Amino acid sequence: MPKESSPFINNTDNDKGNNYDGKNMALFEEEMDSNPMVSSLLNKLANYTNLTQGAQEHEEADEDEGAKKKTVKSPQMGTFMGVYLPCLQNILGVILFLRLTWIVGTAGILESLAIVGMCCSCTMLTAISMSAIATNGVVPAGGSYYMISRSLGPEFGGAVGLCFYLGTTFAGSMYILGTIEILLTYIVPKAAIFVAERKEDEVEALLNNMRVYGTCCLVLMSLVVFVGVKYVNKLALVFLACVILSILAIYAGVIKTAFDPPDFPVCLLGNRTLQNHNFDKCLKTEDIGNTTVTTKLWGLFCDGPELNATCNEYFLLNNVTEVQGIPGLTSGVISDNMWSDYGPLGMLVEKKDQPSIAAADTSQDIYMPYVVNDITTFFTLLVGIYFPSVTGIMAGSNRSGDLRDAQKSIPIGTILAIATTSIIYVTCVVLFGACIEGVLLRDKFGDSVKGNLVIGTLSWPSPWVIVIGSFFSCCGAGLQSLTGAPRLLQAIARDGIVPFLQVFGHGKANGEPTWALLLTGGICEIGILIASLDAVAPILSMFFLMCYLFVNLACAVQTLLRTPNWRPRFKYYHWALSFLGMSLCLSLMFICSWYYAIVAMAIAGCIYKYIEYRGAEKEWGDGIRGLSLNAARYALIRLEEAPPHTKNWRPQLLVLLDLDADQAVKHPRLLSFTTQLKAGKGLTIVGNVLEGTYLTKEAESKKAEQNIKSSMTAERTKGFCHVVVSSNLRDGYSHLIQSAGLGGMKHNSVLMAWPANWKQSNDPQSWKNFIETVRETTAAHQALLVAKNAENFPTNQDRLGEGTIDVWWVVHDGGMLMLLPFLLRQHKVWRKCKMRIFTVAQMDDNSIQMKKDLQMFLYHLRLDAEVEVVEMHDSDISAFTYEKTLVMEQRSQMLKQMQLSRNEREREAQLIHDRNTASHATLNDKAETGPDRVHMTWTKERLFTERNRNREPNANVAVRDLFNMKPEWESLNQTNVRRMHTAVKLNEVVVNKSQGAHLVLLNMPGPPRNRGGDENYMEFLEVLLEGLNRVLLVRGGGREVITIYS
């Protein structure tokens, strides 16, 4: 039994051989193999160890080397170490240190709180949904991917798993970019390889430096991950300590500003903020001794150090002032920072309440050392940049394999971590706004405070605490991403749901995912080549939001469906919360960046369709299947409410197939015809009946079902298969006609093949079953289609050329004859065929008016067809008809001789045929010797010679003479004679007009009311269809199926 489908964990076959000698359980002993004792099951559950990803491979590698199997240590981590701290470490990170001050400055305190509130609510709601899913059963290592795929099925699981993988990978590149930004901007600015000559090239130079250093850093980190994951995990606590110390330093700094603000002066020219890398004093001139000397600042705005040098106009018009960058908690700066200050790329960072005199010429401003916006800012962009700082909530569930009690730890740890970080973010937003001057907040890289990290200027005891802390925290987070992402990809590849990812399931002997690490490195490099932290952040926001959206969806679907297996230990969830979380995720996706959102959804959609098309042979009992069942049930109940309107009527087919002795399908072309008629729409049930009892024929029934399904696949017939075992075929077909389908999804038409060898068959049951089926479909008000010469029908690969589908409309029984050719011509096999409609006019009908009426009727039905009215004149019944009727009656008389042995029956048949042969010989002008072997039906030559005789002018006289000559004709049943006459005449007309047609559709006459004439009925039909290649006999179900109304 495959592990996936096993209902119990670690289901092994070791206990198959256990003998239960005790007498207490003797009643159950025969089933002990399949149903183990409860005690042995509990024993197995107690010995279950939840292996982390990779541990199993370690064990397999050890087994191969022949060493003793390692004992896997039982997982021992508690809530604090196993969930709370990893979540804290993953959530707090690069954005808090590098971008939060800038977001507060640009968006203002109120809008920043809105951003933080939205993002934190989103993750909190997702965490509640995730806790419900994570506590609903054992979650092996694999975290969110495992949870979603087992809840929503392989298609959603694969799509979301790969989204989460891409998100984690891009998170890796974001952390690496953060690391390099800290390194090059704040730690060693001199290490830059590309140095801008002019101010306007600074941004480009920074990006190129990021690309070079980022790539080197990625290679280094990948090597560390490749060599030893265990070192990464050991260093995790060190990195976490850095983060916590940094945050404590910020809070300490904030408290200190209340009574002793640090000294970080910001120099303003007018109301514009200046970059103070290249000057020390915020003065235009200074007095040394008695002489006035220009400062370095003068040199930046003027073309020389002289007092009479040409200077920038704005520089001359405005004064230089110095303000404190960090005025402190009690300064009241909070009121200035309440509101947003968005602007385009290159907008100057200005202090609004400072006096400023505008200059006429602003063209030179971009070359001056002002602090400017390096990107265009607006609310939605900031949401996209901020969101990655709340991701990382899956860290606990990803380690579910290492926890002592995952069911308890994951909800508590994750929700506490989100609550803690949300409080940190909210307080940081308010405190930054309350302590730091607005112009310094909007200065992204700290250019106005000599290139210090803005958040560092606030911290205590030194800015370096935060710089070093944030550097290590980014390094650690990058390593964690490069460790986690390949394992996630490996888990998806191992599941085998995405065929082209199989190669990434392999790794080193100890299970390290080498190939997956290479791919992760490659994708990470794409993020690094983008080079801007602000451009990469929205990309990973998309992928994480997509993942969270599906976690919420999974929880909501499971809760609403109330599946029996949905029994989470975590009780504080509700479907409404999950829906709210889902809507919030979707809104945030489009708020962040609508085009990225569409791309992310397209990627997920493509993966979903690909898995649905190629992979997904797994069955995990997922929620979407439950959703399909619920939707189907709802639809079926709705269908029950009223019968379908004529407009919605389409043939819902029950196809009755015959199988040969080896359970192979006799008429596969019948399935091809079904496909051509249905084109995948509506209901198709393919049925078959086996004779016997279900207990003895169960294996045969399964084999028959398998064969029919494979034939349906080969013929591309979409539908259901239904094999019934019944004591006799007659009852079996009756049961199928009555009970196939469910509720409103029942068949309304039956398609079957004509019993070809009914005459040669020694068993009359074959044609009797056929007639009874005709009667039953009529009684059930179902349409009946009978295909004669089914083996001549076209396959799905055939393309019929120019030709016709001929409809012989003799009696109206609901318009089924009109609808079928229209449906057939929708399929490419029949597309080029034209439709012709023939109707039969009697002597007293006005055939010209009939033709006009029929053309008008077809015009209203919106059907394109040629119309022809065929006149059938009353003519006397020919000798041929009498003779045919006589043979038929004698044959049925012969078979009615009850209790005759088979030999006697054959002798009797021979005698009758000898007599018939003699009578035919006297009938012809030239006496012919009787043939060696007598056929029960007439030969074609005889048919045509007889017809030609009838067409002679004195045919009537000849018939009367013959009538007088044949005394046995008088005793014939006149009803049978009349019916045979109709069959012969109609056949003559149909063959004359439609012999070359690709398909002939013909009204099927009903069977006689008294069962005595059943065999004669078969003979009539045989005569009616003689000489035609492909025929479909159609019998309506007694209701209108086609309408002229829209």
3-class secondary-structure state, position 749: strand
* Mean pLDDT to the nearest integer, 30-59: 56
Per-residue pLDDT tens over the stretch 190-219: 888 888 777 777 788 888 999 999 999 999
- Average confidence (pLDDT) over 282-289: 84
pLDDT of residue 762: 66
More confident residue, 919 or 511: 511
Which of these, 369, 384, 375, lies nearest to 444 by C-alpha position? 375
pLDDT digits (tens, 9 = 90+) for 556-611: 988 888 888 888 888 899 999 999 999 999 999 998 888 889 988 888 888 888 88
Question: Is the pLDDT confidence value at 690 over 60?
Answer: yes
Average pLDDT over the chain reads 79
Cβ count within 10 A of residue 721: 20
Could you tell me which residue, 820 or 10, shows the higher pLDDT?
A: 820
Query: What pLDDT does residue 913 have?
Result: 61
Axis crossing angle, helix 765-779 with helix 729-739, rounded to the nearest 10: 20
Q: What is the pLDDT of residue 369?
A: 86
> Which pTM value belongs to this model?
0.73
CB 711 within 8 A of CB 678: no
Residue 51 has a pLDDT of 35
- Higher model confidence: residue 620 or residue 165? 165
Q: DSSP for 529-544, please give it.
A: HH--HHHHHHHHHHHH
Mean pLDDT of 1009-1033: 80
pLDDT band at 874 (very low <50, low <70, confident <90, very high): low
Which pLDDT score is estimated for 878? 58
Q: Please determine, for residue 653, whether its predicted confidence score (pLDDT) is greater than 80.
A: yes
Q: How far apart are CA 889 and CA 892, in angstroms?
A: 5
pLDDT for the residue numbered 954: 40
pLDDT of residue 214: 93
- pLDDT level of residue 896 (50, 70, 90 thresholds): low
CA dist list (Å): 146 to 217, 398, 399, 431, 488? 31, 9, 12, 40, 9
* Per-residue confidence band for 4, with pLDDT thresholds at 50, 70 and 90: very low
Q: For residues 935 and 169, which has the higher predicted lDDT (pLDDT)?
A: 169
Distance, CA of 885 to CA of 280 (rounded, Å) = 125
Angle (nearest 5°) at CA 185 between 179 and 190: 115
Q: What are phi and psi of 46, to 5 degrees?
A: -65, -35
pLDDT at position 420 = 94
755 token code pair: 């019993």
* pLDDT greater at residue 612 or residue 76: 612
**Residue range 50-70, pLDDT digits in tens:** 333 443 444 344 444 444 444
Find the mean pLDDT for residues 307-331. Answer: 87
Rounded to 10 degrees, the C-alpha dihedral 936/940/943/945 comes to: -130
Helix (H, G, I), strand (E, B) or coil at 1000: strand
**Residue range 109-131: mean pLDDT, rounded:** 94
**When comparing pLDDT for 526 and 154, which is higher?**
526
Which has the higher per-residue pLDDT, 785 or 3? 785
Give the pLDDT score at 508: 75
* Tokens read off for 679: 């084109």
Helix axes 575-592, 533-561, angle to 10 degrees: 160
Closest CA to 199 of 285, 277, 280, 272: 277
The share of the chain scoring above pLDDT 90, in percent, equals 17
Q: CB burial class (10 A; 0-12, 13-18, 19+) of residue 119? A: buried
Cβ neighbours for 558, distance < 8 A, ≥ 6 positions apart: 132, 133, 136, 151, 566, 623, 626
pLDDT at residue 916 is higher than 60: no
Q: What is the pLDDT of residues 903-914, one digit of tens each?
A: 565 565 566 666
One DSSP character per residue, 851-913 reads HHHHHHHHHHHT---EEEEEE----PPPHHHHHHHHHHHHHHHHHH-TT--HHHHHHHHHHHH
Integer CA distances (angstroms), 627 to 151, 433, 552, 554, in order: 11, 49, 15, 11
User: What is the C-alpha to C-alpha distance for residues 331 and 665, in angstroms, rounded to an integer?
Assistant: 90
**Separation CA 184–CA 211 (nearest Å):** 12
Residue 12's pLDDT is 46
**In this structure, which amino acid lies at residue 1002?**
L
- Whose structure tokens read 């198709």? 684
Q: In which band, very low, low, confident or very high, does the pLDDT at 946 lie, cut at 50, 70 and 90?
A: very low
Give how far Cα 862 sits from Cα of 79, 407, 564, 681, 802, Å. 72, 65, 51, 21, 21
The pLDDT value given to residue 585: 94
End-to-end CA, the chain: 56
Range picked from 713-722, 845-854, 945-954 for highest mean pLDDT? 713-722
Tell me which DSSP letter residue 372 carries: B
Contact 912, 891 (CB under 8 A): yes
